[in-house]
Structure 1
Amino acid sequence: MLTIDKKITKIEKGTLVTPSGFQATGLHTGVKRKRNDLGIIMCDTPANVAAVYTTNVIQAAPLQVTKDSIAKEGKLQAVIVNSGNANACTGKQGERDAYEMRRVTAEQFLLPENYVAVASTGIIGLDMPMDKIIPSIKQLKPDATEASAAQFNESILTTDVYTKSTCYQTTINGKTVSMAGSAKGSGMINPNMATMFSFVTTDAVIESDMLQLALKEVTDKTFNCITIDGDTSTNDMVLTLASEQAGNETLTPEHDEWHLFVELLRKTCEDLAKLIARDGEGATTLIEVEVNGAYNESQANQVAKSVVGSSLVKTAVFGADANWGRIIAAVGYSNAVINVDTIDIAIGPVQLLKDSQPLAFSEDEVSEILKNETVKIAIDLKVGDGTGKAWGCDLTYDYVRINASYRS
């Protein structure tokens, strides 16, 4: 265990099933050539739920089914997920297939259909291979073991290199509250929810509307602050499920420890967001941009996302080129309030610009910094007290190779 601060502890071996009441598993159906491609998260009882979806106006059938399920009571007890086929832009047949996945899952686990969410990711425009999916749903046997959680983590991947998960615990009203997350995403990632899944489980006692309030606040500071390639996909979402088995007093903004719960959720989501950014298709470097002195927090995030989303900044990092001109250019077209005479820029510990004036620095030193697995860029605008961060990755030759051959 790693203590993050006095009240929140990171559980290094924690998984989606660490919070009380949850089970999971995954298996290989043959939709993909290898690796698991079908998974499920289960809760012992109907869990309160919050969700955030892609902003793409073209949304895949599974999103519509999930929205329909949640709209009934604001509760879920199972999430069935497949990878390898997005079931997007597949017309009426795609809708029927998504509802059939929901129906079969509900029947298999003796649940009302509206307690089942459906999520799919993969190639757009192909009919779902239901001859592989439906029999495999009936073979799923979720449990609360670390191994089964790992099977689920693998089942949601597409072009990801590695699985992404995290887990934290805190104490609220003297009760241990756990929270864990699993995510996928490595390409078509752009701020405002894109091609990613994130599933968060917690045993905190909290109603769905309050969980939605917390998730919206946290999403704006985490998942909406990552970008890989500027594309926004059709399928993807964050789902947060609360089993309410921790025994704490019901959490609302008036609760003395509401801020602690929100911070627990923020840390969980930030971990997952950074793991997604780090695993960008072909990426070798995680880029973190921190902006201070912006007009307000919203504009700080706006500038940070502009810089981390710049293809020229990304390629400069990949090439270990200390070209700060690309950074200040991205600041300039961010549409934020700036004073062109007061901008500071640093890469790692090396300051390159002071009050918009170039400083002498060692090209070799900065080049070595840019070869690290994580590169931090700091910008101070000096026009206000707004602060913000965004995360992304370098743009490599492999990004082109992976996406040029995605369907083959």
Structure 2
Amino acid sequence: MRQIEGSIVAPQGYRAAGVFCDIKRLGTGKGSDRGPKRDLALIVSDRLAVVAGMFTTNQVCAAPVKWCREVVRRGRAQAIVANSGNANACTGPQGLRDARAMAREAGRALGLQPEHVLVASTGRIGVPLPMANVRSGIRQAAGMLSSELAAAAAAAEAIMTSDTRPKQVAFEFEVGRRVVRLGGIAKGAGMIHPGMSPTGRRPASRPRHATMLAFLTTDAAVERTALQSALTEAVAASFNRITVDGDMSTNDTVLLLANGCAGHEPLRRGDRAFARFEAVLAEACLQLARMIVRDGEGVHRVVTVRVFGARTPAEADAAARAVANSALVKTSWHGGDPNWGRVMDALGYSAARVQEDKVDIGYAPPGGKVTVWSVRRGRPTGVPFARLCEAVAPAEFELHIRLNLGRAGAVLYAADLTETYVEFNKGNVNDPSSLGG
């Protein structure tokens, strides 16, 4: 596995474009004061591709999510059109008509069937799409498609909302004697606590998890069910394990196209080469997911919460999420305060079984093997406060929690809660441009 440049155009047979078509012309939503920022992206495969997807499990989901679920269910797609500045969520029947119209317009501009065009939107909820602008943007983007690095960068910018920087990755690896590539772009900074599934339904056996979007491309040939399986597992260990503010979006979507241009036999579950593909996809998703947390709205510190010794995976997950989404814990992280009492409190009200006199709490550098323990068996260790403060001072650190009741564990990539986040999101009702999604 080698990291390379090019993100979504690094694999063979893909082109992209990003354009400005003034989708925020009403001045709604964050970022409206940025001027002509690109706000519509187009990603196209030269040939029909196998497609996999993961979608928000929010019971209120946007029209593009509903459209994409149907496209993914059919298993083939060739293009993705995505806009920022407007979520096309809570827009009723007109919203679904507009999502379909985006697919039709892209299909017409590219010579594709509309049912082979995926659609995604992000931005302000409850505002109808300015379809004249969207149609113009699609036609403009179709005429600018390119496999140059700048085209991928333009598409990555076009899907941003409150993000401060684009998020891109690409990898190269071998399948037999063939060089295979996989690339991706993502966006997300606020309303981040994804919990996605292939159908958008919440699995009964799993805990419930500004919009995050991720689009991935590969020139690998992968059998359809294997592709969905690989994406499901990759998302479970990446995008579904991040939180900035504990709010699940109406629009969260991850899409993966595999067009087979690398020229090898289709990969199937059980193949050694398929395992290699899974590993590359998992790494790409994890890198993009962690970029989202680092670029979270107002984020000052990023904390990896690691829970060990829970009775079940579900309880480990519940413990991690309770701590990572506690406003008191998150504000203490921002202040550089190793406040283990707030961590203990969050563990206690979580759905996990917790026994106070068995809990250990400590801090470590990212990937570090040395943990500074503030609590052992439910009691303070006596480590000097200054030493604990030193452990949580870096911009990134790990919080280690041992419940000592079993063998299950969980990890969550989380962020602190800052004054900047509050200022950014409270808005001003006298200034519509200050109101978020």
1:138 is aligned to: 139
Q: Are residue 26 (structure 1) and residue 18 (structure 2) matched?
A: yes
Q: CA deviation at 1:75?
A: 0.9
Q: Give the ranges of 4+ consecutive aligned residues of structure 1 lying more than 4 Å apart after TM superposition.
A: none
Q: Deviations over 1:348-403 (max 9, x none)?
A: 23211122221122323332443322121111222222232101111011111111
CA contact (8 A) 2:87 2:122 kept: yes
Q: Are residue 85 (structure 1) and residue 86 (structure 2) matched?
A: yes
TM-score normalised by L of structure 1: 0.93
Q: Are residue 161 (structure 1) and residue 164 (structure 2) matched?
A: yes
SS of the equivalent of 1:122 reads strand
Q: Are residue 57 (structure 1) and residue 50 (structure 2) matched?
A: no
Q: Deviations over 1:141-187 (max 9, x none)?
A: 21111111000000001111111112222222232222111111111
Residues 247-266 of structure 1 correspond to what in structure 2 (within 5 A)? 247-266=263-282
1:367 to 389, 393, 416: 389
1:388 to 410, 425, 430: 410
Q: Are residue 323 (structure 1) and residue 336 (structure 2) matched?
A: no
2:372 is aligned to: 350
2:69 is aligned to: 67
1:120 is aligned to: 121
SS of the equivalent of 2:15 reads strand
Q: Deviations over 1:316-350 (max 9, x none)?
A: 00011110111122222221233432222111232
2:29 is aligned to: none
1:235 is aligned to: 251
CA contact (8 A) 1:70 1:115 kept: no
Counterparts of 1:248 and 1:352, CA distance in 2 = 53
1:3 is aligned to: none
Q: CA RMSD in A?
A: 1.7
Counterparts of 1:372 and 1:251, CA distance in 2 = 42
TM-score normalised by L of structure 2: 0.87
SS of the equivalent of 1:16 reads helix
SS of the equivalent of 2:412 reads strand
Q: CA deviation at 1:226?
A: 1.0
CA contact (8 A) 1:344 1:381 kept: yes
Q: CA deviation at 1:30?
A: 1.5
Counterparts of 2:48 and 2:363, CA distance in 1 = 48
User: What stretches of structure 1 of length at least 5 have no aligned partner?
Assistant: 1-7
CA contact (8 A) 1:63 1:119 kept: yes
Q: Are residue 336 (structure 1) and residue 352 (structure 2) matched?
A: yes
Q: Deviations over 1:284-334 (max 9, x none)?
A: 111111122222434333322222111111100001111011112222222
Counterparts of 1:390 and 1:296, CA distance in 2 = 16
> Which residue type is aligned with residue 137 of structure 1?
I
1:41 to 14, 24, 43: 43
Q: Are residue 402 (structure 1) and residue 424 (structure 2) matched?
A: yes
CA contact (8 A) 1:173 1:249 kept: no
Structure 2 CA distance for partners of 1:284 and 1:339, relative to 1, 3 Å: same
Counterparts of 1:115 and 1:169, CA distance in 2 = 27
1:217 is aligned to: 233
CA contact (8 A) 1:199 1:238 kept: yes
CA contact (8 A) 1:226 1:305 kept: no
CA contact (8 A) 1:169 1:176 kept: yes
1:174 is aligned to: 177
> Which residue type is aligned with residue 222 of structure 1?
S
Counterparts of 2:135 and 2:96, CA distance in 1 = 15
2:297 to 258, 262, 281: 281
Percent identity of paired positions between Structure 1 and Structure 2: 39
